[in-house]
Amino acid sequence: MKHDAMSMIRTDVINRIDAIAAQRGHIRLTNMCEEVDHIRHVARSYGMEPLERLASMLESALALDGHGPIVLSYLDMMRDAAACEEVGPHVSTAYMAAMSLRMGA
């Protein structure tokens, strides 16, 4: 995929993440889950593994805890992962480790 097209996809995903963050506390849980699921599908389709894994983790957290205080931490990390142009298992590992540190695991 050309760099410009991927840049547009990254921008769209970041805008979606920012929209969720802006609505936090006012968005219904089902709508948030749908948006996060859409982001996860886009990430999978375009090989954005760190973002896909973070979105999947957020979906699980939402299923367990709903609108908890951890949502913004996930969204911040997802925004960073969406902007990252590096790929590979080492990148996913780094993001998962950073998220674990944020969560105090």
Give 41-53 pLDDT, tens digit per residue.
999 999 999 999 9
Tell me if the pTM is above 0.85.
Answer: yes
Q: What is the mean pLDDT of residues 85-99?
A: 89
Q: Where are the alpha helices (DSSP H) in the chain?
A: 3-23, 29-45, 49-65, 71-83, 89-103
Domains of the chain, by residue range, sit at 3-103
Q: Say whether pLDDT at 2 is over 80.
A: no
Distance CA 78, CA 74 (A): 6
pLDDT at residue 1 in the model = 53
pLDDT at residue 6 in the model = 92
Q: What is the mean pLDDT of residues 29-54?
A: 95
**Average pLDDT value over all residues in the chain:** 90
